[in-house]
Structure formats: C-alpha cells, structure tokens
Structure 1
Amino acid sequence: MTGLTIGGAAQPERRGNLWTEALARDPEHSKNYAERWRRIEASGQDVYGEARLIDAMAERGARILDAGCGTGRVGGWLAQRGHTVVGVDLDPYLIEVAREDHPDAAWQALDLGQLDLRETDGDRIRFDLVVMAGNVMTFVASDERRPVLERIADHMDPDGRFVCGFGAGRGYSFDEFFADADAAGLALDLRLGTWDMKPASDDFVVAVFRSR
C-alpha cells in the first residue's frame, strides 16, 4: 500500500472517486463503457456469472439491491428471473442505459455514499441480498469507502446478505476492505476467489457478509 509517512506511521493515500475522475478526463467515458458491454452481451459471451451466484443464494422473488449497477447487467438478469430489483449508480447515463435495456427492474441515479432508499411510508427499504460486482468498491473515493459500506448495512434485512467482489492491485487492499466492512457492522461469512466459487486467492475476492 502506498502512502505518506507522518510521525513514523504510513498514512493511506487519499484519492477521489475514480469513475468521476475518468468522466472528467473523457466525457465519452460512460457512453463508450455502455457500448462495450452491449457489444459483449450481443456477442453471446457469458457475462452473468455474478448474477447466477446471487440467484442461487436468493429465495424466489427476493428483494435485491444492485449497488453500483452500471448498465444493469447483473440486476437486469435477476429481475428477469422474478426478483424485485433496485439498481443504483452515480452515473445518470448508465442508469438510462439500464432503464432502456432492462425495464423489469427499478434504476436510480444515486451516489452510494448517499444511499437512503425509502418506502412510500417513509421506512427504509431493506433488501434480502445486496450485490456489488464489477470492482465497484475500488472506484469509491477513499474517504467514502466505509460510509458506503455503512449505507449498505443499513439497507440489509436482519437476515440479509451482502456479496461484493473486486480484483487486487486497484488501490484498495483486501485487508483494508475487510477492516472497513467490520467497522461498518458487517460480519464476514465466506470468502471466495471467484464468482463461480473457487477457493480464496490473492488475485480476486468475493466476500459474503451478514449484518452483525
């Protein structure tokens, strides 16, 4: 981990949200990203491994949050199989693509650090499962990581689970992630190395948490 040394202790490097920084450098970033995934899906490649794992974990008709949903690849597949899906992403363009390509789910443009989904009576919406695929946590600003995980925990049903996966070498170590999750009130139940349930590795993590 890189960082500054202050008073003899290494301090983690602070950084902003990598997605918004990419948009600042290239206004076409979201459009190009969406078109790439549309091409991949249209080619017949299997892009639903994360969704299949979540479906296997869920009761029929489960309430599922797709956190950092992008173009709706995961949540849209789950909605087609009868789950009640809400997808949230900070990029309004990607949300519009999700609405167009996957109309069976509900999609909202919202920063996960500000996540506060409410029922019509004002009660917070609770989910049976929360999925965060596509390296989402590694894009989050360093000072927003723990608040994002706290918001996720606040939206979980008491018996709900949170499943998050991302790769190594992206500026957010697995040890930091597990420490942040623990501080956010999430208890680790299972650590895997891939979305198809291979053993834990140093290259990729898929972690299943419950509320503590």
Structure 2
Amino acid sequence: MVEQSMWMQKVTADPEHSTWYIERFRSMARAGDDLAGEARLVDAMVPRHARILDAGCGPGRVGGLLAEAGHDVVGVDVDPVLIEAAEQDHPGPLWMVGDLAELDLPNRGITEPFDAIVCAGNVMTFLAPTTRGAVLKRLRAHLAPGGRVAIGFGAGRGYEFTDFFEDAAAAELEPDLLLSTWDLRPFADDSSFLVALLRGR
C-alpha cells in the first residue's frame, strides 16, 4: 500500500482543511487576484487543443483555465473534496480522484498520452516522501513523445531541489528550462522557488 500523502495527513488531522483551501482560492478569485500564472505558462508551451494532465489538480484552478483556453484537460487529485469543488467551479475537464503514485489512466479508459503535464501548487512537497520518485515515473509514463512536464514548488518544504533533479533523472526526465517563477524569471542557485520544465529522455 502506498504511504499516505502529506496532504491527506493534514486532512486526517483537520477534516476542514480541504474546505478551507477551496474557500481560500475562491476568495482570492473574487478579489480579482491573478491566479492564472501557471496556466498561462503551460498554454504557451503547447499547440491549440492540446491534451493536458493537471497532476494534483486540487479544486481545478489551473486545469479549469487551460480548458477555457480550448485544451483537453484531465485533472487528478487524491482528495475527493477538492475534486468535487473542481467539478462545481470548473465544469468541462474530466476530474478524477486518484493517487499520483499509482497513476494508471489507461486502466481508467484514458489511453492517449498527454502533450503536457502540469504539477503546480507545491504538489511535489505534499506527496509522501517515499513516493516522489514513483510519481515522477508515472508522469513520465503518461507523457507523449515530445511532450513536457511543468513542475513548480518552493524551497524549504522538505524536498531539496537537488533531490528533485536526481529523482527526475531516475524517471528519465531531464530539464528543458529552469525558472524561479511561473512568470519566467531565471532560476539561480539561491532561488526560493523552482519551476522545472522537463522533457522525456
């Protein structure tokens, strides 16, 4: 059995955590905050009508915007409360409950690989540490030839960037472009955030 993710440990400790998270982003959207940075970057990476996997989609903020831009989006998250919110707030994409460490979409009727995979919102740091490498391998397995994976997370959250790069290499993913923000600022050794655009070897 796969170790429970850090996210689901938080939910177990506080059953209202998911609801708080959903309302936090709904409130930010109502206030007019810019919540589209990740989606803008991914939209620029792909052709029109691309197939995109939103891995760790949460309440659908990124995948919903990509669907509005005309892409074919599938979102997967381990938390059923977040998936329910995604279905309510962003109808259109296919939202699915699932553990990224065991991701096997062909067994769920989704056979075509993805032109791009986005994993935003510090998802990598919310995974169980023992599953991070497995998740990257599962993402690689769902990537179309020539496709890319966009992964973003912050420093100081229990997953060193150097360890991430090692895990990505083991999953046969290599850096195409490294940034320090979703708005295209260059990555440096002292960056506090990483946006890694990876391609399959």
TM-score, length basis structure 2: 0.95
Q: CA deviation at 1:125?
A: 3.0
Instruction: Please tell me the residue identity of whatever aligns with 1:45.
Output: D
Unaligned residue ranges in structure 2 (runs of 5+): none
Instruction: Please tell me the residue identity of whatever aligns with 2:128.
Output: A
Is residue 2:128 matched to residue 1:141? yes
1:52-83 Cα deviation digits (max 9, x unpaired): 00011110000000000000000000001110
State the partner residue of 1:38: 26
State the partner residue of 1:207: 196
Q: Distance in 1 between matches of 2:21 and 2:110?
A: 35
State the partner residue of 2:182: 195
- Rg comparison, structure with higher value: 1
State the partner residue of 1:17: 5
State the partner residue of 1:90: 78
Q: Distance in 1 between matches of 2:51 and 2:107?
A: 13
Structure with the bigger percentage of helix: 2
Judging changes above 3 Å, is the alpha-carbon distance between structure 1 residues 48 and 177 closer, same or farther for their aligned structure 2 residues?
same
Question: Within 5 A, what are the aligned runs for 1:99-118?
Answer: 99-118=87-106
Is residue 2:37 matched to residue 1:49? yes
Q: Is the 8 A contact 1:191 1:200 kept in 2?
A: yes
TM-score, length basis structure 1: 0.90
Query: How big is the alpha-carbon RMSD for the aligned residues of Structure 1 and Structure 2?
Result: 1.4
| Aligned equivalent of 1:76, options 64, 88, 104 | 64
Q: Is the 8 A contact 1:119 1:125 kept in 2?
A: no
Instruction: Please tell me the residue identity of whatever aligns with 1:207.
Output: A
3-state DSSP class of the match of 1:118? helix
Q: CA deviation at 1:119?
A: 7.7
3-state DSSP class of the match of 1:51? helix
3-state DSSP class of the match of 2:158? coil
1:77-99 Cα deviation digits (max 9, x unpaired): 00011100000000000000000
Q: CA deviation at 1:123?
A: 7.1
Q: Which aligned runs of 4 or more in structure 1 are off by greater than 2 angstroms?
A: 122-125
3-state DSSP class of the match of 1:20? helix
Q: Is the 8 A contact 1:117 1:125 kept in 2?
A: no
Q: Is the 8 A contact 1:124 1:155 kept in 2?
A: no
Instruction: Please tell me the residue identity of whatever aligns with 1:91.
Output: D
Q: Distance in 2 between matches of 1:191 and 1:131?
A: 14
State the partner residue of 1:130: 117
User: How many residue pairs get matched?
Assistant: 197
